[in-house]
Amino acid sequence: MQYDPDTPQLLRDFLNYHETIKGQSPKTIHEYYLDLRMFLRFIKLMRSEMPIHSDLNSISIKDVDIEFVRSITTSEIFDFLSYLANDRAQNPDSPYPEYGIAPAARARKLSAIKSFYKYLTVRTKQLKENPVADLEYPKLRKSLPKYLTIEQSAALLHAVSGQNQKRDYAILMLFLNCGIRRSELVGLNLTDVYDDRIRVVGKGNKERFVYFGENCRKALDDYLLERNKKTLSDNRALFGSRDGNRISVTAVHRLVKKALLQAGLDSTQYSAHKLRHTAATMMLSGGVDVKTVQEVLGHENLNTTQIYTHIENTELKIAAQANPLSKLE
């Protein structure tokens, strides 16, 4: 990752640790960087006694070192969280911005700060005390994400048509049966498809196997008859595009939106990510326990999966078969 010249060595070391040792994605590393840069800039701003609405972008953190971080108090961290909740502009570029960012965004920034202090206290032992160890996350509203019903899912699959019908149908079946992410689908190779499962590389380059049902297998087989006749620029890719390259995240987004419109569904309310929600919800309603769904979806934290619901125990391999969509005709 390329760092801004203003990035202090202490922060560079933390980000390098998460990139090289923890194996986290470039996107996650960048989010850590932005969140911690904002935090450190705010602390310097408060200590300079400048107005609270001063431009944080003008604050340099190049001189931040371990002594500066050691001097940060729990009270100052509370001030930062209060700033996020009440004074941080939601859309800084708007002529009439609203202030106070959402609990989920505040929780992400606190998570970055907690990771930073854990690195300094536990991993590198540069600090003895962790001022954020016992800080609670903002309370999040727990609501079920939007998802398709069985009838809507069937309508979506039946609406697929056009030149790439078999490819698009196989993609939608994988989304609805396996609950994989768009980036995971784009990264699938031909060698990742097995008789009853796919090998998925998720966030942080973590690998997992996700099982699928008979109808999903048939959709893949029908598509592979077509795919094996083509040569792509990256011929390992399972899914290709019209220009002969590996299919892109943007192309997947477009084909899902197209299918939603053809099915008469609101394409502004649903997306590829909502198909992931649909798969998770169907698995849980079909009798799969939440811990297994966590493993299927590749969630690092069980709390992320628990937003769907709590269900009774079952086993990993029946997750796909328990999903009603796996038996859809």
List the catalytic residues.
181, 203, 273, 276, 299, 308
Q: In Å, how far are 38, 40, 113, 152, 275 from 135, measured between CA atoms? A: 19, 18, 11, 42, 34
Yes or no: say if 157 and 261 are a contact pair by the CB < 8 Å rule. no
* CA-closest candidate to residue 106, choices 86, 84, 136, 133: 84
**Pairing between strand 197-201 and 207-211?**
antiparallel
Structure tokens at 83: 């700033």
Q: What is d(CA 275, CA 273) in angstroms, rounded to the nearest whole number?
A: 5
| DSSP 3-state of 237 | strand
Phi–psi pair at 3, nearest 5 degrees = -105, 150
- Residue 221 · residue 231 · CB < 8 Å: no
What 8-state DSSP symbol labels residue 54? S
